Structures are given as C-alpha cells and as structure tokens.
C-alpha cells in the first residue's frame, strides 16, 4: 500500500493509474476505522480496480463546541488494517495542506442540508460538501462509497454530484451494526458502559417503527410517539430528533407511503474518562411500505 500526505504526489499517482485504464474506487473516512468503514472498503475493492482510502478529520465539519479535538485518532492501527485489506493507496493529508491559511471557498447544498442533522449542526454539511468536493477534485474517482448510517450525508453528496456534474458514481452501502443492533460509529468509543447498554434502544425503536409500518400504521406521528416512548423508557439520552420522512428528499410526510426514512439522533451525556462530553449518535432505517 502506498501512503501519501502530498496532494501533488497523489495527483501524479492517480494520473498514472488512469493511464492504465483502471477504474478508481474511493472511500473517504475520518479514520478510527471499524467494520462499517471496512464494509465500504470491501465493496469498493470488488467494484473497482484501484482503491484509494482517505483519512482526514475535517475541522470544517465540526462546530467549535463539537468533538474535533477528542475525535479518536488511530493512524498506526488504521494503516495496518488498510494494508491487510490490500488497499492500494492511503491519502492522509495534513489539515494545513487541505486548507491553506487564506482558504475562502466553500461548497454548499442548500435544501437537504438544512434539514434534520443540518438543523442541529449548522455548517456541518457545508464542511462535508466542501471537503468531499476537494477530495473528488484531487482524486477524480470513478466510484465513491458512503454509508447508509449517514443517510442524509449520502443524499447530499449524491445531490452535489448531480448539481455540479462531478464524473463520479456514488454508492450507498448498508449500515453495519454491533450484535445488539447499535450502528458502528467511531463515536461509540465515547460511551460509558451504562450508555453503551442504553444505546441499543435506538435500533430497537427503529425496528419497532418498522413493525408498526408492516402492521399497516399510516400515521407518522403515532410511530414517532412510540419511538419516543421506547427511547425515554430505555435510556437517559436526550433526543435531538425523531423523524419520518420521504426517503428520496427527506421532506416531511403526513402519511406513510412508498419508501420512508426513519431517523433518530440522540445525545448521550458521556462520562467516560477522557472522552467525557456530549456524544451525539444517529441511526436510521429505510422502510418500503
């Protein structure tokens, strides 16, 4: 595996690979790799001839009060994992090379990114779309892979690709979960034992919502109330949002119809040693009614 921090070097390497006619698959990450990331890597490996993974903790997508500083950093282990996965190239740039001091250009999707997580984390998606645009421009991949766990993010990336005519195909891969259903996330490391136990209620609530839809419940409000009940009685988390939306555009719906997104975002007041602070977990399922 080639590892490079240099944008110039990466561009040269990509040029060489492109000349051979190979298709480039790209998986952007913030590191602290887990099976969720690895599932994207496995899929990308299967569907492309040359696989590039980036590890970059993007300061632009964290607000000043968020967890940029304490975000888990595990580069040694990550490199070993990626080597074992036979990734061709790891791009691991330094922050000041991605954002030089006079950086002043941003890419912003203005509809989808105002909803749900965008409401609670103003500027977050603008940070994501700016860095992904930069990475796409640097790498020029044929295919790029995103997790359904961050469904809103994946839709927004698809939208900027369409709106701005990027020549990349976006693939969304299923959420990988712990045995008890908790969606894998680098942020799960922040949870205390008690919170970790409670956190499984997120997926339990989602499954119950799915069951209600299968049982022909058409009223989103009733389902949201039930999710809320499950969350409140099984955890001390404070709910950021519980939402049932049209899965195509995340618009509100009055009636369950077609493909719907059911999403939960909740804060756990982590008291876990060095990682202490608020931990925001998100999860979702897509249900076809």
Q: Which residues are catalytic?
A: 37
Radius of gyration of the chain (CA): 19
> Contact between 270 and ligand AMP (CB under 6 A)?
no
Which CB atom, from 132 or from 230, has the smaller least distance to ligand AMP?
Answer: 132
Q: Which two three-digit tokens encode residue 97?
A: 């090379």
Which range binds ligand AMP by CB under 6 A, 79-87, 147-155, 228-236, 246-254? 147-155
Q: Which two three-digit tokens encode residue 52?
A: 């590039």
> Contact between 25 and ligand AMP (CB under 6 A)?
no
Residue in 105, 192, 117 with CA at minimum distance from that of residue 156: 117
- Give dist(CA 157, CA 130) in Å, integer: 10
Q: Tokens 């965008």: give the residue.
A: 118
Q: Tokens 């299968």: give the residue.
A: 214
Closest distance between ligand AMP and the C-beta of residue 10, in Å? 19
The number of C-alpha atoms within 13 Å of 69 and in the hemisphere containing its C-beta is 7
Instruction: Tell me the torsion sign for CA atoms 68, 69, 72, 77.
Output: positive
SS3 content of the chain, % helix, strand, coil (to 5): 45, 20, 35
Which CB atom, from 53 or from 212, has the smaller least distance to ligand AMP?
Answer: 53
With contact defined as beta carbons under 8 Å apart, do 55 and 30 qualify? yes
- Give dist(CA 149, CA 135) in Å, integer: 21
> Contact between 51 and ligand AMP (CB under 6 A)?
no
Closest distance between ligand AMP and the C-beta of residue 149, in Å? 4
Closest distance between ligand AMP and the C-beta of residue 175, in Å? 4
Binding residue for ligand AMP (CB under 6 A) from 130, 152, 175, 188? 175
Which CB atom, from 129 or from 256, has the smaller least distance to ligand AMP?
Answer: 129
Which CB atom, from 141 or from 220, has the smaller least distance to ligand AMP?
Answer: 141
> Contact between 196 and ligand AMP (CB under 6 A)?
no
> Contact between 176 and ligand AMP (CB under 6 A)?
yes
Which CB atom, from 182 or from 242, has the smaller least distance to ligand AMP?
Answer: 182
Closest distance between ligand AMP and the C-beta of residue 15, in Å? 26
> Contact between 29 and ligand AMP (CB under 6 A)?
yes
- Give dist(CA 16, CA 20) in Å, integer: 7
Reduced to 3 states (helix: H, G, I; strand: E, B; else coil), residue 190 is helix
With contact defined as beta carbons under 8 Å apart, do 29 and 22 qualify? no
> Contact between 124 and ligand AMP (CB under 6 A)?
no
Which range binds ligand AMP by CB under 6 A, 13-21, 182-190, 215-223, 253-261? 182-190
Closest distance between ligand AMP and the C-beta of residue 157, in Å? 9
| Contacting positions for ligand AMP (CB under 6 A) | 29-30, 36-37, 39-40, 146-147, 149-150, 173, 175-176, 183-186
């Amino acid at each position: 595996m080639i590892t490079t921090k240099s944008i110039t070097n990466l561009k040269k390497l990509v040029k060489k690979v492109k000349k051979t006619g190979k298709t480039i698959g790209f998986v952007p990450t913030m590191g602290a790799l887990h099976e969720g990331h690895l599932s994207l890597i496995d899929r990308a490996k299967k569907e492309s001839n040359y696989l590039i993974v980036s590890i970059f903790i993007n300061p632009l997508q964290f607000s000043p009060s968020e967890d940029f500083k304490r975000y888990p950093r595990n580069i040694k282990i990550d490199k070993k994992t990626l080597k074992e996965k036979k990734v061709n190239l790891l791009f691991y740039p330094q922050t000041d090379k991605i954002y030089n001091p006079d950086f002043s250009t941003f890419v912003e999707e203005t509809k989808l990114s105002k909803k749900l997580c965008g409401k609670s984390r103003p500027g977050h998606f603008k940070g994501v779309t700016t860095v992904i645009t930069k990475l796409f421009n640097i790498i020029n991949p044929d295919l790029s892979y995103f997790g359904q766990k961050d469904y809103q993010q994946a839709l927004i990336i698809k939208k900027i690709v369409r709106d701005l005519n990027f020549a990349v195909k976006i693939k969304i891969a299923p959420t990988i979960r712990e045995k008890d259903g908790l969606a894998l996330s680098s942020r799960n490391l922040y949870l205390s034992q008690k919170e970790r136990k409670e956190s499984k209620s997120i997926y339990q609530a989602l499954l119950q919502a799915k069951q209600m839809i299968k049982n022909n419940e058409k009223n989103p409000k009733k389902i949201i109330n039930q999710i809320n009940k499950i969350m409140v009685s099984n955890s001390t988390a404070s709910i950021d949002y519980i939402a049932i939306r049209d899965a195509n555009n995340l618009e509100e719906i009055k009636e369950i119809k077609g493909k719907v997104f059911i999403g939960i975002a909740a804060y756990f007041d982590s008291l876990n040693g060095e990682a202490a602070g608020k931990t925001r977990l998100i999860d979702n399922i897509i249900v076809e009614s």
